[in-house]
Amino acid sequence: MESTLIVHRATAWVRSHKAASVGYAFLLLFLSQYVMLPNNSLQDLRKENPGVTALMKQRIDEADEAGKKFSLSQSWVPLSKISPHLVHAVITSEDGTFYEHAGIDWYELEESIEKNMEKGKPARGGSTITQQLSKNLFFSTSKSYGRKAKELIVALRMERQLSKKRILEIYLNIIEWGDGVFGAEAAARKYFGKPASLLSREEAARMAAVIPSPLKHAPNAGSPYVLRRSSLILNRMGSRGY
């Protein structure tokens, strides 16, 4: 059933894609990776929290190769202990249709691939929260179509095996928020000196603003990027009734 669903959705996307030859090539790569991906580990995530993620391991290896010390800061908290402001800010910023899609926003995926084709290399993201979680848990930050295909398959599987609430909980606890800083609790304490449960609406918007580039920008910085992006997120939150 699961493989049939994946084939159906991927094929439907390919048929609607303007560049059919590239679409079919991507579909073949997409399906060729299917049997080599984690399955039981996704079922375990229903009740068990993940340990060191693929992204964390990547950062540790990068620091080791550069001869630098690396200190990992993370404190796991349940979703109920994370400010609703942060939940709303992250969804608004990263994946406005999170509760509507089944792991992949097919329209955004098409737009992403078309932009990447124009540039001749993987560049534009277009990833949902579930895709980002898939990448951070199991893969690397490398920009390749092979990695993207794996990410998409795991995202579809994840949506079938985990609730939206659980996906959000894991995501907010493992995503990168700075050099060695992972998860909302560690980030809230580092940048604002408070637990994630007490983040204000403005602080939450700042936290969400730096998710695309957490190693370049800090939520508590007064940089034009953070100010501009957090203001945009706050406006979007308001228009959504948050």
Residue 175 buriedness (CB in 10 A; 0-12 / 13-18 / 19+): buried
pLDDT at residue number 140 = 75
Distance CA 76, CA 182 (A): 9
Structure token pair of residue 129: 């929260």
Domain residue limits at 233:
2-239
pLDDT at residue number 95 = 93
DSSP designation for 35: G
Distance CA 78, CA 182 (A): 15
Angle separating helix axes 164-174 and 184-192, nearest 10 degrees? 50
pLDDT at residue number 21 = 47
pLDDT at residue number 149 = 78
| CA distances, 40 to each of 37, 108, 134, 166 (Å) | 10, 29, 14, 16
The end-to-end CA distance of the chain, in Å, is: 37
Q: How many domains does the chain have?
A: 1
Angle separating helix axes 201-209 and 224-239, nearest 10 degrees? 120
Distance CA 144, CA 122 (A): 6
Distance CA 23, CA 170 (A): 31
10-residue mean pLDDT profile of the chain (242 residues): values are: 52 50 53 57 90 94 92 96 98 93 76 60 68 90 74 87 96 97 98 98 98 95 94 96 88
CATH of the domain at 59: 1.10.3810.10
pLDDT at residue number 17 = 47
Residue with tokens 């983040």: 199
pLDDT at residue number 125 = 55
pTM metric for this prediction: 0.82
